[in-house]
Amino acid sequence: MSIIKNTAVAVALSTGLLMSAWAQAHPKLLSSTPTEGESGAAPAKIELHFSENLVTQFFGAKLIMTDMPGMPNSPMGVKANVAGGSDPKTMIITPASGLTTGSYKVEWRAVSSDTHPITGNLTFKVK
């Protein structure tokens, strides 16, 4: 009887550990180019690097100009292409045209193999 009980306990613990590891497999933003709060030249592309491989058919991002000289608090969407990079942990946002002076925000949504969407944002300024 104790062998069955010990086996059941071992299976339950193993399953719990496996489920815990799987639940922690959410993608986390590790780095970006430009970095959060950076102020500088207009980037040709914005790169987001995550901790997990991304499922490209479920991720996405919006690029928003949140402030421009002479027009404070005037958010407007910026046309951009969102694609995966050569590294499956990378999302690349490429503006359709050059970014002008102002403040920007990228609102992103990342999904990895665990299929749970994680959202966040990145802000930067173009001088």
Give pLDDT, residue 40.
98
In the chain, % of residues over pLDDT 90 = 69
How much is the average pLDDT of 46-72?
93
Looking at residue 24, what is its pLDDT? 53
Q: What is the pTM of this model?
A: 0.78
Would you list the DSSP string of 17-78? HHHHHHHT----EEEEESPTT-EESPPS-EEEEESS---TTT-EEEEEEEEBTTBTT--EEE
CA distance 63 to 106: 5
pLDDT (tens digit per residue) in 6-58 = 554 444 444 444 444 444 568 999 999 999 999 999 999 999 999 999 999 99
- Over pLDDT 70: what percentage of the chain? 80
Q: Which CATH number is associated with domain 27-126?
A: 2.60.40.1220
